[in-house]
Structure 1
Amino acid sequence: MFKKRKPVEEPVRHDQIMRLIKLGMEETDAADRDIDETPSPLFDAAKARMDAELLKSTKAEIRAAYDALNRHGY
């Protein structure tokens, strides 16, 4: 009579995950390159691109991208 509703799975787009991984790597690399510069224009630009792409992503995509980045040492 009363069935539990199945949770609705968020869509996961492989191309979006790959884009997030690429931007995450660029952000980390920019931070490493400009470690001595305090405002770092390279890092600020990379962070802005990453933040813009995060807004277009689902929670599942973000989680998958950060898991992949952590596995590879980023």
Structure 2
Amino acid sequence: MGLFSRTPQPEPVRRDTVMNLIKLGMAETDAADRDIDSTDFDQAKERFELAMRDATPAETTAAFDALRRHGY
């Protein structure tokens, strides 16, 4: 093959990051189910969004897929 035929490498998916995103996503959903206007929900949402900023797009996709599969 030629000089420009390199295939892009897949993004890294760190299992611990995905598991943390799943845990935080579940906590956010549970807090929303209890009371969406509470500070508990606001804090859970903030923690989840902060963790998503530090994750790769592949990790966030994996976490959202797992959350959807489990009914969250």
1:64 maps to amino acid: A
Tell me the CA shift for residue 63 of structure 1. 0.3
Which runs of structure 1 show a deviation greater than 4 angstroms over 4 or more consecutive aligned residues?
none
Please report the RMSD computed on the Cα atoms of aligned residues, expressed in angstroms.
1.2
Tell me the CA shift for residue 7 of structure 1. 1.4
- Taking only the aligned residue pairs, the percentage that are identical comes to 59
Tell me the CA shift for residue 5 of structure 1. 2.0
User: Where does the alignment leave 5 or more consecutive residues of structure 2 unmatched?
Assistant: none
Counterpart check, 1:21 vs 2:13? no
User: Where does the alignment leave 5 or more consecutive residues of structure 1 unmatched?
Assistant: none
1:69 maps to amino acid: L
Task: Give the corresponding residue for 2:9.
Answer: 8
Tell me the CA shift for residue 9 of structure 1. 1.0
Tell me the CA shift for residue 4 of structure 1. 2.5
1:13 maps to amino acid: R
